[in-house]
Structure 1
């Protein structure tokens, strides 16, 4: 089992880099997609990701319940999970505004992420995980934005600690910051 974590800013090229890593393996790939087409812009982003994927890759759309489907991974040599930050956004938005940053809501989301990570540890193939890096910008102005940053920072740190390799992608250039290249 190997976990490769790919992080970077929005539109940094992290997904394209992660896809390239999966293609280089030349084995069976499951692409776990977390995006939800909530508007035209998001529809276009999802379409771009679909166009880049090889037709041979299987796709599992798991925008809310990714933690419940880790058992699906066992049939594939590589799983590409794209992405944690979108999955987290989806989860945060299931709570009404009055519960944003609520301790119980925060623990519920952390529990889902921990269950998913526990399942990932059991997976025997190569797991490539993509997530946005929220720690390079300023503190968000809104309560929801700060909750997202806090939760994503926590999740990214948990995943990076478990990962065998970590890459930061900046302006399309991957920089290895932990481990050996797969």
Structure 2
């Protein structure tokens, strides 16, 4: 595990990104280090472009923004000197991987590469992801591959994290504080 991995989970519009921004701002202030924001979203339509623009406007002006929709694992390995990194979000990253027409085996390989990079990152890392396992069962095979793949990757990423924060209605709860053994 790196110096500090915080994994932030929640539903759509739950406040996950705001939580991650607030924590990174605190780390920036306390550690006197620059924050790098790695965005995985791509503006494939007007609505998504507006969403991305809105998110960009919320970030402090001194932060570095990197747009990396596919190879975040390689980026982490190549930029291990970055002291504070936010990755927003893992759920879009998995969607982008599947958009490259990869099958389940390739998704598992990419996921393993992600886990390796995250586990070896030496800085402070915040990873944002959607919890997708509490909704309806997807009706399409691709939807089920996405849900299952992201659910598995969320579990494995959480296992590496010092803090696993569940965000609901803008309020974060560290699940590590309530963890029980099977």
TM over 0.5: yes
Q: Secondary structure at the match of 1:87?
A: helix
Q: Is contact 1:3–1:127 with CA below 8 Å preserved after alignment?
A: yes
Residue among 107, 110, 117 paired with 1:109:
107
Partner residue, 2:15: 13
Q: How does 1:124-163 map to 2 (within 5 A)?
A: 124-163=122-161
1:22-66 Cα deviation digits (max 9, x unpaired):
001122111111000011111111111101111111111110121
Say which is worse superposed, 111-120 or 49-58, in terms of deviation: 111-120
Q: Is contact 1:73–1:79 with CA below 8 Å preserved after alignment?
A: no
1:110-129 Cα deviation digits (max 9, x unpaired):
21122122122222111100
Residue among 163, 169, 181 paired with 1:165:
163
Gaps of 5+ in 1: 100-104
- Give, in angstroms, the shift of residue 8 of structure 1: 0.3
Partner residue, 2:43: 37
Q: Secondary structure at the match of 1:129?
A: strand
Residue among 52, 56, 61 paired with 1:55:
61
Partner residue, 1:25: 27
Counting matched residue pairs gives 171
TM norm structure 1: 0.89
TM norm structure 2: 0.89
Q: Is contact 2:81–2:123 with CA below 8 Å preserved after alignment?
A: no
CA RMSD of aligned residues (A): 1.3
Partner residue, 2:118: 120
- Give, in angstroms, the shift of residue 20 of structure 1: 0.6
Partner residue, 1:84: 90
Q: Is contact 2:89–2:128 with CA below 8 Å preserved after alignment?
A: yes
Gaps of 5+ in 2: 178-182
